[in-house]
Amino acid sequence: MINAPSNTGLQQTTSYKVVLPFYIYAAISFLTACILLLLNTRAMHQHYFLPQTLAITHIMALGWGTMIILGASHQLLPAMIDGKLSSNTMAYLSFGFAAVGIPILATGFYLFQTGWLLQAGALLVNAAMVCYLVNVVSSIYETKKTDVHAVFIATAALWLFATTFFGLLLVFNFTRAWLPRNSVDYLSLHAHMGITGWFLLLVLGVASRLIPMFLISKYSSRKRLWWIYALINLGLLVFILLKLFVKPGLVFYVPVLLIGAALAGFADYCRRAYKVRLRKQVDEQLTLSLLSVALLLLPVLCLLVTMAFMSKNQQAHIVVLYGFCIFFGWITAMILGMTFKTLPFIVWNKVYHDRAAKGKTPAPKELFSEKLFRQMKVFYLSGFGLFITGLVFLNDILLISGAAALVLAALSYAGNVARIILHKPVSL
């Protein structure tokens, strides 16, 4: 038992009422996606452009990854810019539009109803991202700060809107032919705008601040972070131009090399921060998040193998593996670890902020069950390993076993999140 936690950089500057709904929604989405994965393992044998696969992918990308990142960034952005969130109202609107739009969009994909259902979902998701983008840019503008971490977040928000807007065009292109080619031809462009421009840029920008902070490491290199920022954006822009105007060839390795150099730079950034850390014992939550950095190697390997050796028919199978490694691997491992580093502080501030000066309070880490966290970790790592092995060998038993373990991991995660959020003050 301890007094109020020392300065962690996560002091609450945004109301918990803004932030917590995103965490709750994300937990439900993760469980939903895992259940759908279990019910549709046969779809993994086929082409990635299937209704079930598209639905699961968008639930993971929007309902799981994006929603929890939106919630966390509403909390973390003020701490990074030494200011306040510009508008709580805009944050509520971004949640409301997304919370309604994502299940409509996912249902549209699952039923492959390419008319009004899919279009309505896409419009609502875009409305949510406009609210988020305006809020982020306004918050940074009002503080007049150009901190590199804030620039990562603002640029990622721009890429997020670009991704969802392009997705909106693809949805309408199913019925109205708004684009020169059919929507399937643009899928990789849409996907990598989101994966690289939104997820990768934002995760690296935030993690480069949080990982040294949680390790209690004094290491920082703004020059290195600016290089990482430049390489990711340059690599993505080069990829977009090549995809639109150049036929596939060796030149497509250029964006891979640029972004690969950025990832190598970030891995070395984490290594240096780890090396000079003051906290010698690294907790399990941070270890899982650090593992996600290593898990980035899997989709990169899939991408290189696809480009170098695979025929077009073989590529469709590897693309499913590539997407799974990104959404259920890298992104999920990062979130599973960081949730239990950030959410306890948010709820601790909600429950104990006014009580801390009056006596001892539980530590933030006591708000969740470490036993349940370890259980989740075992289910997740075993499920992920079994499922990717099943994808490689197209083995139904491994796919079903892996998906079942992931469902158990999602249940453990949701239970622990509920335990934190429903925490009541204890009298010591």
- Provide the 10 A C-beta neighbour count for residue 63: 24
How many Cβ atoms from other residues are within 10 Å of residue 119's Cβ?
20
Phi, psi of 48 (to 5 degrees): -70, -20
Structurally, how many domains does the chain consist of?
1
Amino acid 5: pLDDT: 45
Residue 383 lies in a domain: yes
CATH number at residue 381: 1.20.210.10
Which pLDDT belongs to residue 6? 43
Measuring CA to CA, how many Å separate 305 from each of 300, 302, 309, 385?
Answer: 9, 5, 6, 19
CB 85 within 8 A of CB 61: no
Range of the domain at 231: 16-421
Q: Which of 58, 45, 53, 56 is nearest to 313 (CA)?
A: 45
- In SS3 terms, the chain reads as CECCCCCCCCCCCCCHHHHHHHHHHHHHHHHHHHHHHHHCHHHHHCCCCCHHHHHHHHHHHHHHHHHHHHHHHHHHHHHHHCCCCCCHHHHHHHHHHHHHHHHHHHHHHHCCCCCHHHHHHHHHHHHHHHHHHHHHHHHHHHHCCCCHHHHHHHHHHHHHHHHHHHHHHHHHHHHHCCCCCCHHHHHHHHHHHHHHHHHHHHHHHHHHHHHHHHHCECCCCHHHHHHHHHHHHHHHHHHHHHHHHCCCCHHHHHHHHHHHHHHHHHHHHHHHHHHCECCCCCCHHHHHHHHHHHHCHHHHHHHHHHHHHCCHHHHHHHHHHHHHHHHHHHHHHHHHHHHHHHHHHHHHHHHHCCCHHHCCECCHHHHCCHHHHHHHHHHHHHHHHHHHHHHHHCCHHHHHHHHHHHHHHHHHHHHHHHHHHCCCCCCC
Q: Is the whole model's pTM more than 0.85, yes or no?
A: yes
Helical packing angle, 396-421 and 331-352, nearest 10°: 10
Q: What pLDDT is stored for residue 128 in this prediction?
A: 98
**411 and 31 Cβ atoms separated by less than 8 Å:** yes
Q: What is the pLDDT of residue 2?
A: 39
Phi then psi for residue 296, to 5 deg, are: -65, -25
The tokens of 419 are what? 């335990």
368: in domain: yes
CA distances (Å), 386 to each of 61, 276, 381, 398, in order?
21, 35, 9, 6
Per-residue pLDDT at 358: 64
Q: Which residues contact 225 (CB under 8 A, 6 or more apart)?
A: 148, 149, 152, 205, 208, 269
N residues, the chain: 428
Query: Given this model, what pLDDT does residue 359 score?
Result: 65
Task: Name the region of 82 (left: φ>0; alpha: ψ -120 to 50; beta: rest).
Answer: left
User: How much is the pLDDT for 79?
Assistant: 84
| pLDDT for position 48 | 81
Domain-located, residue 67: yes
Contact criterion met (CB below 8 Å) for 150 and 209: no
Residue 11 lies in a domain: no
Torsion sign over Cα 28, 100, 154, 320: positive
Whether residue 1 lies inside any domain: the answer is no
Q: What is the pLDDT along the chain (428 residues), one digit of tens a residue?
A: 334 444 444 554 688 999 999 999 999 999 999 999 999 999 888 878 899 999 999 999 999 999 999 999 999 888 888 888 999 999 999 999 999 999 999 999 999 998 999 999 999 999 999 999 999 999 998 887 678 998 999 999 999 999 999 999 999 999 888 888 888 889 999 999 999 999 999 999 999 988 899 899 989 899 999 999 999 999 999 999 999 999 888 888 999 999 999 999 999 999 999 999 988 888 889 899 889 988 988 998 888 877 765 555 566 778 889 999 999 999 999 999 999 999 999 999 888 877 766 667 888 899 999 999 999 999 999 999 999 999 999 899 999 999 999 999 999 999 999 999 999 887 65
Evaluate whether residue 302 is within a structural domain. Answer: yes
